[in-house]
Structure formats: C-alpha cells, structure tokens
C-alpha cells in the first residue's frame, strides 16, 4: 500500500539510480532475474511471455532488429552477423551453428566463406572457387583468401581476377583463360598484357596458337588447323592473298626460307616430296620429264638433250665436268 500511495516517488527513492525497471510490471529487474532486452530495456521474461507480442511492439518500436534465435534486440553495439537478411547476435549464431544458418537463410542464399555472412544482391561481390565473396573481405585478405577459396586448379581471369568457371564464355591468351567480356572490353591492351610480343595468334578465332596445337601456316601466320578446315577456302583467301605459293601435298604455305622443290611447275616443301617419293614421282612421270641427275622436273627453258635424254643444263654440265 505504501508503494501504491507514493508511486513513482517511492520507487525512485528505494531503488538505485542505475537499477533497471521492467516497463510491463514496473518492478526492478534484479541481477538474478530471468530477463530479456527489448527496445534497449530490460524486462522480466515472464512479463514478456505473458504479453507477447504486444509487449514487444510496445517496448521496441518497428525499426529495432531482433535476433530470431534469442528473440532479443540486436543493438548497435552488439557483435552481430547478418543471415537471411536478418541481424543475429554472433554469440547466438556461434552457439547454434550450422543449424542457425540453415534456419535463418534457406538453401539458396550465398554466404561469404571469409566472414560467414550473407552476400545479398546489393553487395559488391566477387566469385572465387564458384562461391560469392564480399569484395571487401577478398581485398582485406588477398591473396590468402583467393588460395583458400579457390584451390590450385581453378583458372582465374588475369583481367578481373575472378574465376573462369566452365560455363563462362572464355578465350585463351598467353596460356591463361580470360573471360571473353573482359578481353573485349580491354582489347588490344589485354592481348599485349597477357600474351607478350612473340605469341602467335590465329587470325580466324583470335585465340593463341600454343606449341602443342595442331596448326597450319597460311600467309606467314600460324592458324589452328580446325579453324582453317572450318573456314576453307575463305580462310585461305583472307590470310594469304592470291600470289602465295602453297605446297599441294600438305596445303601449307611455301615461304621463301623453306627448303623447296618445283614439281609440275608448283613449289613443294622438299620434306613433303621426300616423304612421298617414289609414289609422287610415279604418278607424275607420265606428264613430267625428270632430270636423270637430280630427279626434278625439267621445263623447256633450261633443258638439254643428250643421247636421247633430257637434262637440266646445269646438272649435265656439272656431271660432264665431274666425269672429266
């Protein structure tokens, strides 16, 4: 009765200034009481349970985040973590992990493996090892974070430093996989940066011709044989021009530095001729006259007939000199 007659003066007088008061029953919340914090104010848990959810709305207001695991306010000073778009006390998450994560998030929400918080659509993010990371987390722990998330076998685009996953549209430069979009945005700078000045590039697909690739040389440029076959004869005309000599046996260009031989008025690589001789000679003998000394075709401007046989003049002169 004394309390009721002098309320709230009596309450203030008998209680210390720092004592917490439950806003539902207006009694002290002692240190040993089972309590809950709502709207920054301590309440008896029994009072909260009896008046829930009205009590929560009354004490908190609409904008205060509540941890869905302990149902207490997440105040600005709390160590918190965001899961499923909701703020949790980190201690609550740690105590119930991983069940709490699954409960709050659902299976489809990506989680940054470095800070273990949700990567929401509005976040600035980067993909490593097929997983979304916060870019800030990656930058703070780079390159350790990249190694941790990716593993040694995952290719990384050197232009954007993100994973090149199998489903990406990619291009190979300098032996490294690039996102085609990154290459297109920074071409030709990206080309020079990734390849270096001596790398050969197929003019048909704009990708590098690696030493191990099956290749063909047209117009002095190395091309993938598969690209050449898919675009033949257009590829030939595009890269060679009308005057280039082509070996009819391997269909590759006969460049000036090649060791070559002229058969039937056409230039051949000597290696191609030697590999297919004598078959090549037999198929051609009916229409071509071969010099007995060198086995090469004789045209009318350079031949000499001796004892019914046609020779290259220079070959006959050399052999006549040698005999003498």
H or E element, residue 299: none
In three-state secondary structure terms, 313 is: helix
168 alpha carbon, distance to own chain's centre: 7
Both tokens of residue 283? 């198929």
User: Residue 259 in contact with residue 272, Cβ under 8 Å?
Assistant: no
Given a cut of 70, whether residue 307 has pLDDT beyond it is: yes
Of the pLDDT bands very low, low, confident and very high (cuts 50, 70, 90), residue 242 is: very low
The pTM is what? 0.22
Q: Which residue has the tokens 């401007």?
A: 301
pLDDT number for residue 105: 54
Average pLDDT over residues 54-77: 73
Per-residue CA distances from 11 to 15, 50, 55 (Å) = 6, 23, 22
pLDDT number for residue 286: 45
Q: Which residue has the tokens 């300098």?
A: 174
Within 13 Å, how many C-alpha atoms sit on residue 86's CB side? 21
Given a cut of 70, whether residue 41 has pLDDT beyond it is: yes
User: Mind listing the pLDDT tens digit for each residue in 43-53?
Assistant: 888 888 887 76
Length of the chain: 324
More confident residue, 241 or 244: 244
pLDDT number for residue 185: 83
Given a cut of 70, whether residue 163 has pLDDT beyond it is: yes
ω into 98 cis (within 30 of 0): yes
């Amino acid at each position: 009765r004394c309390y009721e007659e002098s309320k709230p003066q009596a309450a203030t007088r008998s209680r210390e200034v720092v004592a917490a008061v439950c806003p539902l029953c207006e009694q002290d919340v002692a240190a040993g009481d089972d309590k809950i914090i709502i709207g920054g104010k301590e309440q008896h848990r029994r009072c909260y349970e009896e008046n829930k959810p009205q009590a929560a709305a009354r004490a908190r207001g609409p904008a205060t985040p509540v941890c869905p695991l302990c149902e207490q306010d997440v105040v600005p000073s709390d160590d918190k973590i965001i899961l499923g778009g909701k703020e949790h006390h980190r201690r609550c998450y740690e105590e119930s992990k991983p069940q709490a994560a699954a409960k709050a998030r659902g299976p489809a929400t990506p989680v940054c493996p470095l800070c273990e918080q949700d990567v929401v659509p509005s976040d600035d993010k980067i993909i490593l090892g097929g997983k979304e990371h916060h870019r800030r987390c990656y930058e703070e722990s780079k390159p350790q974070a990249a190694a941790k998330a990716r593993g040694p076998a995952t290719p990384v685009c050197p232009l954007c430093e993100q994973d090149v996953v199998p489903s990406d549209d990619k291009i190979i430069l300098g032996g490294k996989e690039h996102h085609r979009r990154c290459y297109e945005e920074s071409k030709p700078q990206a080309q020079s940066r990734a390849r270096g000045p001596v790398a050969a590039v197929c003019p048909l697909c704009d990708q590098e011709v690696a030493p191990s690739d099956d290749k063909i040389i047209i117009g002095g440029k190395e091309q993938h044989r598969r690209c050449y076959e898919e675009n033949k004869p257009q590829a030939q005309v595009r890269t060679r021009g009308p005057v280039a000599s082509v070996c009819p046996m391997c269909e590759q260009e006969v460049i000036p530095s090649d060791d070559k031989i002229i058969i039937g008025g056409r230039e051949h690589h000597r290696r191609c001729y030697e590999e297919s001789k004598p078959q090549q000679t037999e198929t051609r003998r009916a229409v071509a006259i071969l010099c007995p000394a060198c086995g090469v075709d004789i045209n009318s401007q350079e031949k000499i007939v001796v004892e019914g046989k046609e020779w290259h003049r220079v070959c006959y002169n050399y052999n006549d000199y040698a005999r003498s």
